Amino acid sequence: MKAILKRYRAFIITAIALGILTIINSQIGLKALSISAYSFKEMLLVIPPVFILLGLLDVWVPRETMIKYMGEGSGLKGIVLAILLGSAAAGPLYGAFPVAAVFMKKGVKFSNILIFIGAWSTTKIPMFLFEMSSLGAKFAFTRLLVDIPGIIIIAYILSKLISKDEIEKIYKQAENINK
Amino acid sequence: MDTYILYGITILFLAFSIFKDKKKTKMSLKKAWKAFENILPQFLVVLLLVGVLLAVLNTEVISKIIGSGSGWLGVMLAAVVGAITLIPGFVAFPMASMLLQGGAGYMQIGAFVSTLMMVGVVTMPVEMKYFGKKLTILRNVIAFIFSFVVAYIIELVVGGI
């Protein structure tokens, strides 16, 4: 019980703060609550398949296979796969992080994980089609063509900025998260 | 639409998994639940923060910030608004299109859309849990700077300076 309270402490504090806000300014407070409820519903819709796929990946795909395709020395193949997997995803960016943790457990190269996160954040295929219909093909294609090299460059800059020890620490943490 | 495809694929894989090995399937589902439960506290905080942010920064306020601003200051403001808000794509794109019609420039909209997708200030607690503080901050800062490059190129190509 105590452990649960501790884990949800930040949530409880935020909820109380929102309650106080609602008392002070009921218009904004109630609107915030209704938007939160809406986002919660959206989360409930997208999250189950993402996590079930993550569980299946964790159990069925052997580490060796993941290392071969996306690990150290996977080269261009690993980069392309990371972009394709990230782009095929659905759902908000926070869904990508637990998937990244499973990738770490499976020995996927760090820069490929960062490329995957980048692709999930900005080159998702369903979103691209939607972007094209609202902002025009020229806008959507320009952004896509700048983003693909951008994601790869950012991934390499980040892996250079972070030391080997720190990367190891992040990987170790991922082991503990999805146990 | 994409949610249906995602469900279809998941059900397909899940059915295949059950057919192949019931025990392993059970293990996968257990892992899925644990992974979700593990991050749930942070998710809930993010959801509340998103609610407050969007209640304050509604379309009207955003269009005032981006629509009136021109040049780099407008781009800067647009990038900041995009970075701190978390709006789903199916709301964000029509909104961006409306802002364009309302007089916002391509550079501002480019910056807004780019930081909206790549930078997530409210989702940082979730990101930090997996990637640590340093990497999370670095990733968001670099993605923020990169968004200006995106904005500039979009302006060059689509806006035609």
Domain positions in chain A are 1-45, 61-177
- State the average pLDDT over residues A81-86: 94
B1: confidence class by pLDDT, cuts 50, 70, 90: low
% chain B with pLDDT above 90? 45
Q: Tell me whether A88 touches chain B (CB under 8 Å).
A: no
The vertex-B21 CA angle with B17 and B22, nearest 5°, equals 90
Express each pLDDT in B7-55 by its tens digit: 999 999 999 999 999 999 999 999 999 889 888 888 888 889 888 888 8
Supply the mean pLDDT for chain A: 90
The whole-angstrom separation of Cα B129 and Cα B126 is 5
Judge whether A132 and A120 are in contact, CB under 8 Å.
no
ipTM of the complex: 0.86
Provide the shortest C-alpha distance from residue A55 to chain B (in Å): 4
Q: Tell me whether A60 touches chain B (CB under 8 Å).
A: yes
The whole-angstrom separation of Cα A16 and Cα A12 is 6
Express each pLDDT in B82-113 by its tens digit: 998 877 777 788 888 888 887 788 999 999 99
Residue A178 or residue A88, greater confidence: A88
Judge whether B78 and B111 are in contact, CB under 8 Å.
yes
Q: Tell me whether B113 touches chain A (CB under 8 Å).
A: yes
The whole-angstrom separation of Cα A157 and Cα A19 is 42
Judge whether A101 and B35 are in contact, CB under 8 Å.
yes
**Out of B2, B24, B50, closest to residue A36 by CB:** B50
B159: confidence class by pLDDT, cuts 50, 70, 90: confident
Q: Which value, in Å, is the radius of gyration of the alpha carbons in chain B?
A: 20
Provide the shortest C-alpha distance from residue B93 to chain A (in Å): 6
